[in-house]
Amino acid sequence: MSATDETEKPDEEAALQLDAAGNLRHLLTLKGLDKALLTDILDDAERYLTLPGTLPARSQSLAGRTVANLFFEPSTRTRASFDLAGKRLGADVLNLDVNTSSRKKGESILDTIYTLEAMQVDVMVVRDASAGVPANIARNVQEHVCILNAGEAEVSHPTQGLLDLLTIRQHKRSFSDLKVAIVGDIRHSRVAMSASQGLATLGIGELRLISPPSLAPDPESLPGAVILDNLDEGLADADVVMALRIQRERIGNLEGIPAIDQYFANFGISEERLKIAAPDVIVMHPGPMNRGIEIESVVADGPRSVITQQVTNGVAVRMAVLDRVSRIMTAR
C-alpha cells in the first residue's frame, strides 16, 4: 500500500499529533495546535538562540536518541537545520541519501520507515511531495517513534510556520494589530498554509494573500484571510511582507502564469513598491529565493530584510520541537 492511499482529513491529522495528555507527539501541521502550545515552542526556541559570533546553544537532551532525516524532495535550509538541531541536542543523526536508497529499487516508503524503526531510530523527519505522507507514516509507526513534517506537498510545513512566527514576534511582539501580507504563489505554498494557520491561532490583525488569480488559494483553505490580486492594496500599511517563489515543480500546466518580467512588475517586492508599506515593515522569504522575480536583491539584502534571521531561527525552532517530542519519549 502506498503511503498516500490514506490521506487523512486535516482534523484527524491534527488530533493524531497530540497524546492523551495533550503533549506533542508528532508535528504534522500547525492546524489544531493551540496558542499556548505554539507560544511555549516559540519561547523554548528563543532559549536556543545565542549572539552571532558566539558558540551555538547545545544540550544533551537527545543523547542516545537517533534522528533520521528522510527528504524525498530537495532541501537546503530545513534539512541542514534539522541535522544541526539534532546534533546540537546530542542525538545521532542519520541523513538518508534518498537517491542511493532502496526506494530507487521500488521499496515503499513504509517499508523504508519500518527498516529504520528496526535500527532503533526514534525521530523521523520527513519531506515528501505527496499530501498525507507524514500523517500516514505517523499512524503506522510504533508508539515510541515521532514523526516531524519537514514539508508536505502544498499542504503543510509546520516548522517553517513556527520559525516565521518567531521571527515576526522578535520584531513586532504583539500579533493582534498586525497586518501581514503574503505575496506570490499562494496556491501551491505549504509555507503560506502553515504561516497562515499559525498567525490565525496567535490572533493576527489582518492577513492578506496577494497573487495573480492563477496562483490564488482556495478561499476555504484559509478562512479569514483577505485574498487580493493587487499588490498595492496588499502592501498598504503592511507591517510584515512575506515573498514566496513560484512553485514551478507543483504546477503541471504553466498556462496563465505570468512571464517573469510581467510577474516582477506586478508582484515583485521592490524598494519602490515597499514605499506604501508601514515604515518599519519587515520583509521575509522562506527561501530558496529567485532574485529579480519575486523579490528585488536590494530588498532581500537590505535593512528591512529578516531573511537570514529566519534561517537562524529555523535551527532554534527545530531544536525546540525535537526537545519537546523527546520529553514524551523519556516519559514513556
Per CB under 6 A, the list member of 86, 184, 217, 286 interacting with ligand CP is: 286
**φ, ψ at 46 (rounded to 5°):** -60, -30
Between 110 and 149, name the residue whose CB sits nearer to ligand CP.
Answer: 149
At a CB cut-off of 8 Å and minimum separation 6, what does 30 contact? 38, 156, 158, 161, 162, 194, 197, 198, 201
Question: Distance between CA atoms of 318 and 189, rounded to whole angstroms?
Answer: 20
Closest CA to 306 of 248, 228, 239: 239
Min separation Cβ 151 and ligand CP, Å? 6
The span of 2-10, 250-258, 284-292, 297-305 binding ligand CP (CB under 6 A) equals: 284-292
The answer to the question of residue 214 lying near ligand CP (CB under 6 A) is no
Sheet containing strand 123-128, edge to edge, reads 92-95, 66-71, 123-128, 146-152
Binding flags for ligand CP, 28-67, as an x/- string (CB under 6 A): ----------------------------------------
Min separation Cβ 205 and ligand CP, Å? 25
Question: Distance between CA atoms of 317 and 46, rounded to whole angstroms?
Answer: 8
Polymer length in residues for the chain: 332
The answer to the question of residue 76 lying near ligand CP (CB under 6 A) is yes
The answer to the question of residue 69 lying near ligand CP (CB under 6 A) is no
Contact 211, 229 (CB under 8 A): yes
Binding flags for ligand CP, 115-154, as an x/- string (CB under 6 A): ------------------------------------x---
Per CB under 6 A, the list member of 10, 90, 258, 287 interacting with ligand CP is: 287
Name the H helices within 107-218: 109-118, 133-140, 158-172, 190-202
The span of 116-124, 272-280, 285-293, 324-332 binding ligand CP (CB under 6 A) equals: 285-293
The span of 5-13, 35-43, 76-84, 93-101 binding ligand CP (CB under 6 A) equals: 76-84
In order of 1, 135, 177, 211, 249, the CA distances from 5 in angstroms are: 7, 11, 42, 31, 22
Per CB under 6 A, the list member of 7, 44, 77, 258 interacting with ligand CP is: 77
Per CB under 6 A, the list member of 23, 39, 66, 75 interacting with ligand CP is: 75
Min separation Cβ 125 and ligand CP, Å? 11
Question: Distance between CA atoms of 125 and 133, rounded to whole angstroms?
Answer: 12
Query: What is Dmax (Cα atoms) for the chain?
Result: 56
At a CB cut-off of 8 Å and minimum separation 6, what does 54 contact? none
The answer to the question of residue 288 lying near ligand CP (CB under 6 A) is yes
The answer to the question of residue 78 lying near ligand CP (CB under 6 A) is yes
Q: Applying CB under 6 A, which residues contact ligand CP?
A: 75-79, 151, 160, 286-288
